[in-house]
A = this chain, B = another copy of it.
Amino acid sequence: MFPITTKKKSNPTTSIGLKRRTLIISAALKAFAEHGYSGASIQKIADSANLSKTNVLYYFRSKKLLYSEVMSSILSIWDSSFDRVTVNDCPAQALANYIAEKMENSRTMPLSSKVFAIEIINGGPNLDTSFKHTHKLWVQDRITLIEDWMTAGKMDNINPEYLLHHIWASTQYYADFSYQIENVHGAHMSQQEFTHATNTVIKLILKGCGLIVPEHYLS
């Protein structure tokens, strides 16, 4: 009838295939972060990966599919130790760790943060509803955690929803607005300066919540 292998690349298990796919994804990540979805042409992505346009389309059958794989590779990094925090844990320690983690994400993976930011700003047209739902459930669960801390008198009474937004905003900013930061700062932030910024964010938020900053984050 017809060959068994009707679908191509259902098995990206081969050595060269995997290499190429990750190479293309990282090139696409950079292009999407710098030019947005529409501005990042397949040709540009191919050029920056030193591949032909056709070769890129061999591994990712369409631009939308490439973008969605880039996006899912981004979302898979969102796990955090804060996911497993319980009411018995110390809120100061848990929140400080969470902020430090998010800041470290901003430092080491700014491009991922930028692509995600653009996606949200544009209304998340390419985010499937399952992600939105999962995220919403996660937030509701963490809100009850924070509320439990408050009723236990472990921290100030602050709207937990706005607190979470506040944490995301102030940490992701260091990735998304890195160019603005560099312009103000005069140069690229060193790792020391980044640690200082992290401790400043931790100090501001924890003190704002009526919490004492753990020793480890004092500088």
Contact = CB atoms under 8 A, between A and B. Distances in A.
Given A36-B38, A169-B177, A183-B132, A196 B159 contact: yes
A82 interface: no
- Label chain A's interface by main secondary structure: helix
Interface in A126-164: 132, 135-136, 139, 158-159, 161-164
B158 A122 contact: no
A122 B36 contact: yes
Interface string A182-216: 01111000000000110011011111111000000
A144 to B, nearest CB: 14
A137 to B, nearest CB: 10
Give this chain's copy count. Answer: 2
A209 B204 CA distance: 7
A17 interface: no
Contact of A118 (B36, B170, B174): B36
Interface of A: 33-39, 114, 117-118, 120-124, 132, 135-136, 139, 158-159, 161-166, 168-170, 172-174, 176-177, 179-181, 183-186, 196-197, 200-201, 203-210
25 contacts: A34-B123, A36-B36, A36-B37, A36-B38, A36-B118, A117-B176, A117-B177, A118-B118, A118-B121, A123-B179, A124-B179, A132-B183, A135-B183, A136-B184, A159-B200, A162-B200, A162-B201, A163-B204, A165-B184, A165-B197, A169-B177, A173-B173, A204-B204, A205-B208, A206-B208
